[in-house]
Amino acid sequence: MTTLHIIRQSAYTTTDFEQCIQSLCMNDIIVFIDDGCYNLQHNLISTIDNSKKIQLNVMKKHALARGIIIDESIINPIEMTALVALTFSNDRVITWQ
């Protein structure tokens, strides 16, 4: 059972991202949107357990609007159509806001 986690807030202002990381299960997917894109620059990103095979995505336009450079070797930049597809292809969706 996979879960899509949509992160909308920055870890610089809330604990949502930290709570999300604690709840991750094998093969879950994270999408950073809105101010959640700032988490790409937060040290919490390095605490995600690689053995769980978590897929990391960011809304490309949201990151670029915030001046965040996307390291495509770590984060997959996506468009809205891909986010919509992810909501249908996962068992659950949690929006952290």
Domain ranges of the chain: 3-96
d(CA 82, CA 15): 26
Cβ atoms of 57 and 30 within 8 Å: the answer is yes
**Which is nearest to 52 in space by CA: 82, 25, 88?**
25
Confidence at residue 68, expressed as pLDDT on a 0 to 100 scale = 97
Each of the 97 residues of the chain gets a pLDDT tens digit; together they read 899 999 999 999 999 999 999 999 999 999 999 999 999 999 999 999 999 999 999 999 999 999 999 999 999 999 999 999 999 999 999 999 9
Confidence at residue 5, expressed as pLDDT on a 0 to 100 scale = 98
Confidence at residue 1, expressed as pLDDT on a 0 to 100 scale = 87
Please give the CATH topology (third level) of the domain spanning 3-96.
Answer: Hypothetical Protein Ychn; Chain: A, (3.40.1260)
